[in-house]
Structures are given as C-alpha cells and as structure tokens.
Amino acid sequence: MDTRAVVILREVCKIIIPAVLLFALYVQFHGEYGPGGGFQAGVIFAAGVILYALVFGRETAQRILPLTTVRIFIAAGVLLYAGVGVGTIFLGGNFLDYNVLLHDPKHAQHLGIFLIELGVGITVAAVMITIFYLLDEFCE
C-alpha cells in the first residue's frame, strides 16, 4: 500500500476509534432505556480494538491490551454476571431476582440489570478480542 494511504488511514482511524469506543460505552450505559445493552456494546467495543489492531498491528494493540489481561476480563465479566445471581440467592431471593438487591424494587431492578449487562458487555468484548488475537496469530 502507498505510504500516503497508510498515513491517511492511520490519521482517520485516530479520530474514528475513540468515537467507536465512546459509542460502545453509550450503548452499554443506556441499553436499558433503548436498543442496545451488554452484547451490542461488547461487540462495538471489540470492533474498535480490532480496528486498531488491523491498522496499527496486533503487536501494538497487545502492548495496550495484552492477551492475559483480556482473558482476565473474560473471567471478570462471567464472575460479575454469576456473582449477581448468586448474591440474590444469598439475599433470600431466586437466582437473578433483582428485587432483593435494594430496599426499593425499582432501583433494585435498575441496579441488577445494569450489573448483568455490564458483565455481558465485558465478557463479549473480551471474547471477541481474544478470538481476533488468536486467529491473527494463527494466520501469520
């Protein structure tokens, strides 16, 4: 590829990638009010990281977000999801019965959905990034 084209691509991506990551956070934190949520936000966030890796190189991306860190995020997301469910059991409810999380059921539902969607978003993003890292390494 022409050197000028590479420079233009990298400069454009320096503008686009932060916008993609910011949009992922918007979808994550406003998912219970409209379309979106954890899965969609996780995929959008992973797409931003994958775009960075495609443009600047996987090795550069892995210096910022190493594979071991991504694997920790996979476990953390699953533990957050399961932890909310098990926590509701310990508080006297059923698995994922959000009403027992707080005294006000409306706020408890909001908190429970937020935590579950956050766990899903973290897990989905980390799994997608891991798949990309491993496939890219395999195809070298």
Segment 76-118, tens digit of pLDDT: 999 999 999 999 999 999 999 999 999 998 999 999 999 999 9
Q: What percent of the chain has pLDDT over 70?
A: 97
Mean pLDDT for the stretch of residues 118-136: 97
Task: For the full predicted model, state whether its pTM sits above 0.85.
Answer: yes
* Domain ranges within the chain, ordered by starting residue: 3-138
State how far the Cα of 91 lies from the Cα of 97, in Å rounded to an integer.
9
Query: If you search the block for the tokens 């775009």, which residue do you land on?
Result: 51
Mean pLDDT for the stretch of residues 5-28: 95
pLDDT at residue 1 tops 80: no
pLDDT at residue 2 tops 80: no
Record the tokens describing residue 8, joined without a space.
């233009």
pLDDT at residue 25 tops 70: yes
CA 74, distance to chain mean position in Å, is 9
Half-sphere exposure of 17 (CA within 13 A, CB side): 17
CA 86, distance to chain mean position in Å, is 22
CA nearest to 86, candidates 74, 101, 72 = 101
The pLDDT value given to residue 35: 67
Record the tokens describing residue 71, joined without a space.
């694997």
CB 105 within 8 A of CB 85: no
> How much is the CA Rg of the chain, to the nearest whole Å?
18
Mean pLDDT for the stretch of residues 44-56: 97
CB 25 within 8 A of CB 42: no
- Contacts for 2-8: CB closer than 8 Å, 24+ residues apart: none
Amino acid at site 60: T
